[in-house]
């Protein structure tokens, strides 16, 4: 998969707690009018909590209902995948939600802690096949752009939804 300017592939030089990438404050300025970053423990309530954060944030910013619904569905797929296929879903795991908005689009990303510990029982990796892959189709249907990238310590999946201009 090729990269786009919006992906901004890079290597994180510093890691925050739990091996998550440290966010450079310079990333939070520019054309964006608002943003939020939120981390949570990777447990059974994480997906519901992440959906609620997205809903609350986009409602507060007065985004159209269709944008909110698509964002909620797509982020639930990203968060579910992080729980199922990364260390974020294992004991002590954490995942981080990033939301950035401007007048034209909503960009949402979920950072997980990379590949699962293979020594833990019942580990299923991202490449193990099985009944996986439909989530990407859902994200592609909800979003205008999507992708993923890896760093040394994390795996980040993201999507963007264009915001329709008011007539």
| Domains with residue ranges and CATH for the chain | 26-162 (3.30.565.10)
User: Could you tell me the two tokens for 61?
Assistant: 């910013």
Tell me the C-alpha distance between 14 and 17, whole Å.
10
pLDDT of res. 130: 57
Residue indicated by tokens 């950035």? 100
Query: Given a cut of 60, is residue 157 above it in pLDDT?
Result: yes
Q: Of 4-18, 23-37, 95-109, which gets the smallest average pLDDT?
A: 4-18
- Over residues 64-90, the pLDDT tens digits come to 999 999 999 999 999 999 998 888 888
pTM above 0.75, yes or no: no
Could you tell me if 58 and 70 are in contact, meaning their C-beta atoms sit under 8 angstroms apart? no
Cα-flanking dihedrals φ and ψ of residue 6, to 5°? Answer: -70, -20
**DSSP string computed for 37-51:** EEEEE-STTHHHHHH
17 compared with 131, residue with greater pLDDT = 131
User: Could you tell me the two tokens for 19?
Assistant: 């091996």
Tell me the C-alpha distance between 32 and 107, whole Å.
10
- Over residues 90-139, the pLDDT tens digits come to 888 899 999 999 889 999 999 999 888 766 655 454 455 555 667 888 99
Residue indicated by tokens 């909620």? 72
User: In the chain, what is the straight-line distance between the N-terminal and C-terminal CA atoms, in Å?
Assistant: 35
Tell me what the pLDDT averaged over the chain comes to: 78
């Amino acid at each position: 998969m090729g990269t786009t300017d919006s992906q901004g592939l890079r290597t994180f030089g510093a890691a925050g707690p739990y091996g998550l990438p440290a966010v450079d404050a310079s990333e939070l300025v520019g054309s964006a009018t608002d943003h939020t970053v939120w981390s949570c423990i990777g447990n059974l309530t994480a997906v519901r909590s992440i959906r609620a954060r997205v809903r609350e944030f986009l409602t507060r910013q007065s985004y159209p209902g269709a944008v909110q619904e698509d964002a909620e569905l797509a982020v639930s797929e990203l968060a579910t995948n992080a729980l199922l296929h990364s260390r974020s879903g294992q004991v002590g795991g954490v995942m981080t939600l990033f939301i950035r908005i401007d007048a034209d689009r909503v960009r949402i990303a979920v950072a997980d802690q990379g590949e699962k510990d293979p020594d833990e029982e019942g580990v299923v990796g991202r490449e193990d096949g099985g009944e996986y892959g439909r989530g990407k189709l859902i994200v592609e249907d909800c979003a205008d752009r999507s992708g993923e990238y890896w760093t040394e310590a994390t795996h980040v999946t993201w999507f963007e939804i264009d915001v329709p201009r008011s007539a």
